[in-house]
Structure formats: C-alpha cells, structure tokens
Amino acid sequence: MLVTPKIRSNICLNAHPAGCAQEVRRQIEYVKAKKAARAGTASDTCVESDVSLKSESSPRFVLVLGCSTGYGLASRIAAAFEYGADTIGVSFEKEGTETRGGTPGFYNNMAFDKEAKAAGVNSITINGDAYSHEIKKRVIEEIKKLGKKVDLVIYSLASPVRTDPDTQELYKSVIKPIGRTYEGKCLDIIAEKLTEAKAEPASEEEIATTVKVMGGADWKLWIDALTDSGCLATGCTTLAYSYIGPELSHAIYRDGTIGEAKKDLEKTARELDLDLQKKIMGHAYVSVNKGLVTRSSAVIPVISLYLACLFKVMKANGTHEGCIEQMERLFAEKLFAGGEVPLDDEKRIRMDDLELTDEVQKATVANMNAVTEENMAEYCDLAGYKHDFLSANGFDVDGVDYGLEVERFDMV
Ligand SMILES: NC(=O)c1ccc[n+]([C@@H]2O[C@H](COP(=O)([O-])OP(=O)(O)OC[C@H]3O[C@@H](n4cnc5c(N)ncnc54)[C@H](O)[C@@H]3O)[C@@H](O)[C@H]2O)c1
C-alpha cells in the first residue's frame, strides 16, 4: 500500500519504513563526512586534539538507552560510524508486522543494525521497557556474553510514563507550569496556523510524578546496576541530556514540571560523577542540548513557534544544527577532544551555546513578536520545521519514492 502521513494535533501517527531507513543513512553519511573532514583539518593544521584521529578516550563499546530516535539515535550513529564503536541500543518501539506499520524508531533500529552489520561494527538492539529490572538484567547479560566493558553510557530516554520497577506503580509526566497559569502562542505546522495554548498550574503530585518519570532516578538505577555487575570500563563516561531553552519558555519548561525533572537529572549527574570517580575513575555529565524538532519536543506548547523562529535565525547566520550535527560536535569537540571536558558553573556540557547567544535570542524573540498567520513564512522557517517534523517519521525524505507501494511493514 501507499503510505502517507497521518497527523493529529501536531503528532504524526504513522511512519514510512523506507523514509526512516534513508534518514538513518543520511545521518551515517554525515558523520562519515565529518570524520574525513576532521581528519583532513587535523592533518593540515596539526590539531592534535581532534578525536577522529584516535584519542585514547574514543568510545569503543557504547550503551545507548533511548537509541531509536532523536538525540539517542544520533549519539549511536556518531559512536558507531565516526568512532567504529560497538553499540547496544535499548528502546521501546512498536514492531511492524507483515501488514501493520511500526513506529519510526522500529524502522530506524532495523536500518541502523543493517548498516552497522555492513560496516562491520557490532550492534545489539533490544526492544523493551528500559525502566524495568528485566531489561537492565538482559542488557547486563548481553554485555557479559560479549566479554567487554562499556566505556560510554548514553541516557536519552524521553517518555510520558514510567512504571516503578519495584512497586509497579505507573507514573505519568505532565508539561505544566508551576504556581501560575501559562498562556502562549503555538504553531500548528500542518495547518500553518497560530493557536493559543493555556496550561493550568501543576499540582504537587503532578510535579512529583513528572520528576519520577523524567528525573534522574532511573539513570541512577542503570549506572548502579552496571557498576555493581562490573560492566563499566575504567574511566567510563555516562551522559544524560537536558534542555534549558530561552527565557520566554521558562514558565512552561525550565520553571515548570519538566524543568523540575531536568534539575533532578542534573543533580543526579553531580552525584553519579562523584560516585563513578571513586569507583572506576569515571564521569557522569549532563549535556544541555539545542532545542530541536523530535517526537518529544513537537508536543510542548510555545516551543514549536519558538523553534520555527529560531531555525529561521540560525539558518540565516549559518549556525543551525540538527540532532546529528549536535551529537557529532558533542563527541568530537567536547567529550573526546583529548583534554578536560569543558563544563559550565553547574558542571554541565553546553551544546546550546549557539542557540542561546544574545544575538540569536534577540532576533528570535523579535521574529516571535512580529509573526502573524499572514506573514509566517517571513519570520518562521516553516519549510524546515515541517521537514524535520515529517522526516522524524520517514516522510519528506530526499531519495525516497513515496509513489512506491510498501509491500511489508516488517522490513526495510
Ligand atoms: N528534543 C529536544 O529539543 C531536546 C533538547 C534538549 C534535550 N533533549 C533531551 O534529550 C533526551 C531525548 O529526547 P529526544 O527528543 O531525542 O526524544 P525522542 O522521543 O526522539 O527519543 C526517546 C527515546 O526514548 C525511548 N524510550 C521511551 N520510553 C522508553 C522506555 N520505557 N524504555 C525504553 N526506551 C524508551 C524511545 O524508544 C526513543 O528511543 C530527553 O532527555 C530530552 O529531554 C531534547
């Protein structure tokens, strides 16, 4: 059958298998080209710190939790195809069957495994609930079977729910402000309309449950389980991802429920860092990444309009990055550049540096203030935002013939 996007309330409900696979290949090609370019630059200019030129600390065996889409997928691609690292990936995706479509992450994982095999790098992909004890046990068994220790653990889970593995209680996260109502403009990218979003303040219970889902508790469970079972190499690094965003979104994001969860994640990083230093001379960091259109961020009020205005500004000044550009730069210029990892005052890696410059923020806010439904194309990167939204589900991807029937949904 022909597969076209099914979109409801800024969420794309289906995926195109061939488009997802092509998008994975595009990201792989990007990191391979960067590797070559960095090697070229380094040999021309004798920049010794370039990782692609085999820093001692280059990742060799990487565990990616949340490996199937967004930042996790990009991290896995950078590790495997720029550094040749073996990877274990964990994600929670709906599998495609012969007749029914799966989620984009399912097709991304299949494509990743196929490309990794062709390139001769080992990959193991596990589909299941990363919050459960069962999946932690399974990953540890896989690591032990391989007889190697993990030197990088990426924690890139984004989920609306988490079942506590001990009590089986289901916690739900909410995106709400704290202490006051939030009202802001949103972009409906498909209708090209501006809508008003209103979010009532969160209850104490909603704040607590959001922290349970998106805070640092599960990351700590993973790192403790991996350390206790002797699966982490000496000097292993673990990273989790956070977002801060612009002033104008703080009421709904950084000072809201998700922000509380992120502050908990950042606190967990500082605690894990001390612990890992003591136990295995390792490190734990949070990397604050750039705001991007991924399956998670598309549903946060005001962020959609902000991102569309931001992309317009950053593309015009040549500093725009997507997931793969961010993760490639994170690895090559911050994590594995050979020296100390550069951190801010709160011990975080800042990949949102280019997004949060005064110049970019002022221009973005000016765009947001000026935009109306009539002049959207002038102030928003409508085409770019729409492309990112669709391509996260395998649609609107260059080189894919959408006129071809999808014969089976269980293969790419
Ligand atoms: N998207 C952004 O703009 C942005 C910016 C900065 C930081 N971040 C952070 O980066 C991280 C990843 O976000 P993303 O936007 O890439 O998300 P995403 O939705 O693209 O990916 C989430 C991943 O988590 C996996 N997952 C969800 N629940 C799971 C479960 N129970 N068990 C196993 N896997 C599960 C999914 O399968 C997927 O692989 C989050 O911490 C997010 O806050 C995102």
Position 298 scores a pLDDT of 66
What is the domain range of residue 330?
Answer: 13-166+203-297+322-353
Q: Determine which one of 253, 285, 379, 385 is catalytic.
A: 253
- How far does residue 373's CA lie from ligand 1's centre (Å)? 31
Residue nearest to atom 4 of ligand 1 (CA): 291
Helix (H, G, I), strand (E, B) or coil at 27: helix
Position 45 scores a pLDDT of 46
- Residue 287 half-sphere exposure, CB side, CA atoms within 13 Å? 29
From first to last of its 412 residues, the chain has per-residue pLDDT tens of 999 999 988 889 999 999 999 999 999 999 999 999 999 865 554 333 333 445 667 999 999 999 999 999 999 999 999 999 999 999 999 999 999 999 999 999 999 999 999 999 999 999 999 999 999 999 999 999 999 999 999 999 999 999 999 999 999 999 999 999 999 888 888 889 998 888 999 999 999 999 999 999 999 999 999 999 999 999 999 999 999 999 999 999 999 999 999 999 999 999 999 999 999 999 999 999 999 997 667 667 789 999 999 999 999 999 999 999 999 999 999 999 999 999 999 999 999 999 999 999 999 999 999 999 999 999 999 999 999 999 999 999 999 999 999 999 999 9
Strands in 98-231 per DSSP E: 123-127, 150-155, 161-163, 170-172, 182-188, 193-199
Position 48 scores a pLDDT of 37
DSSP secondary structure string for all residues of 349-397: EES-TTTT-HHHHHHHHHHHHH--SSSHHHHS-HHHHHHHHHHTTT-S-
Residue nearest to atom 43 of ligand 1 (CA): 242
CA separation, residue 398 to residues 18, 387, 388, 390, 401 (Å): 11, 10, 12, 12, 9
- Give domain status of residue 209, yes or no: yes
Which atom from ligand 1 is nearest to the alpha carbon of 323?
16
Position 53 scores a pLDDT of 42
Residue nearest to atom 22 of ligand 1 (CA): 158
Residues 104, 90: Cα–Cα separation, whole Å: 14
Q: Is 306 in the pocket of ligand 1 (CB under 6 A)?
A: no
Position 197 scores a pLDDT of 85
Burial of 223 (0-12, 13-18, 19+ CB in 10 A): buried
Number of domains within the chain? 1
For ligand 1, mutation pick of 76, 77, 159, 302 (most atoms within 8 Å of CB): 159
Q: Is 294 in the pocket of ligand 1 (CB under 6 A)?
A: yes
Q: Is 243 in the pocket of ligand 1 (CB under 6 A)?
A: yes
- Give domain status of residue 135, yes or no: yes
- How far does residue 274's CA lie from ligand 1's centre (Å)? 25
- Give domain status of residue 404, yes or no: no
- Give domain status of residue 307, yes or no: no
Q: Is 105 in the pocket of ligand 1 (CB under 6 A)?
A: yes
347's torsion region: left (phi>0), alpha (psi -120 to 50) or beta?
left
Phi, psi of 348 (to 5 degrees): -110, 150
The answer to whether 323 touches 66, Cβ cutoff 8 Å, is: no
Residue 402 appears among annotated catalytic residues: no
- Give domain status of residue 342, yes or no: yes
- Give domain status of residue 311, yes or no: no
Q: Is 268 in the pocket of ligand 1 (CB under 6 A)?
A: no
Helix (H, G, I), strand (E, B) or coil at 35: helix
Listed in sequence order, the residues at least 6 apart from 373 whose beta carbon sits closer than 8 Å to its beta carbon are 192, 193, 194
Write the CATH number for 38: 3.40.50.720
Identity of the residue numbered 171: Y
- Give domain status of residue 264, yes or no: yes
- Give domain status of residue 360, yes or no: no
Position 295 scores a pLDDT of 67
